[in-house]
Amino acid sequence: MLVDKDTALDAREDFLATIADKTFPCVGAKSAMARGMLKTVVCRSLEGAKEDTRIHSELLEWVAAHREDPEGLRSLAVIFEGPRELDEKEFEVAMWERLQALANIDERRDQPYDRSVSPDPEDPHFSLSFGGAAFFVIGLHPNASRPARRMPRPTLIFNLHDQFERLREEGRYERMRETILNRDVAIAGSVNPMLARYGEESEARQYSGRVVGKNWRCPFHDPRTA
């Protein structure tokens, strides 16, 4: 059963209001919203599997839309009505359960893994892949320790890797990254210790927003690997 229209509208409005707030640091999300390229999908529960196929279909449509028009920044935000009381570890567990389920569906639908990235979450070049395209995921929720990761509801934002590679080629990526970092410091008082450039260490460590140690191991395993 889908979320009713009023509930979905409230979720979208709360999410977009948070992005629009002047203190929100991610200028990429602000740019995508301003251009009408920040799509929202509202679901019931981050801990529920009933809408996984729907989410995966949205990802495939998002990949197809990007391939038709690869210019600019675009993001797909999946907003969950709950649970809203999850602490950081609980959110991390639920997030990876959903991402694992989406990867399993991708495999069942005979979608290839993007060969420009690694399916191994321990590899510095790891990324998720849906519909043959690499994705970076940003997890946000009400109880995140970093202010920049707080949202009224649990939310997963899916960003295509290809668009960041284009920004690098155009010489715009580092400027945008520096702006986001400076804005994050302004609201949190410190640099996010989990941030790293792609290829330095696995980006899987950054997805949930929780600070994890060197011994942390990602629970994800892509079904297309041995």
Return the structure tokens found at 166: 């284009």
Predicted TM-score (pTM) of this structure: 0.93
pLDDT above 80 (res 166): no
Is 102 contained in some domain? Answer: yes
pLDDT in tens, 29-56: 998 999 999 999 999 999 999 999 999 9
Interval 114-140 mean pLDDT: 96
Answer whether residue 224 is part of any domain. Answer: no
Residue 56 domain flag: yes
The better pLDDT of the pair 202, 73 is held by 202
pLDDT of residue 180: 81
pLDDT at 225: 87
* 219 domain-assigned: no
Q: How confident is the model at residue 118 (pLDDT cuts 50, 70, 90)?
A: very high
In a domain, 28, yes or no: yes
The confidence band for 226, taking pLDDT boundaries of 50, 70 and 90, is low
DSSP per position, the chain: -PPPHHHHHHHHHHHHHHHHSTT---HHHHHHHHTT-EEEEEEEETT--TTHHHHHHHHHHHHHHHHH---S--EEEEEEEE-----HHHHHHHHHHHHHHHHHHHHHTTPPP-TTSBS-TTSTTB-EEETTEEEEEEEE-TT-SSGGG--SS-EEEEEEHHHHHHHHHTT-HHHHHHHHHHHHHHHHSS--TT---TTTS-GGGGTT-----TT-------TT--
Which range is least confidently modeled, 94-98, 184-188, 220-224?
184-188
Confidence of residue 63 (pLDDT cuts 50, 70, 90): very high
Please give the Cα distance from 23 to 132 (Å, whole number).
35
- When divided into structural domains, the chain yields a total of 1
Q: From the CB of residue 2, how many other CB atoms can be counted at a distance below 10 Å?
A: 12
Q: Is residue 118 part of a domain?
A: yes
Residue 212 inside a domain? The answer is no
Residue 215 inside a domain? The answer is no
The residue range of the domain holding 86 is 5-206
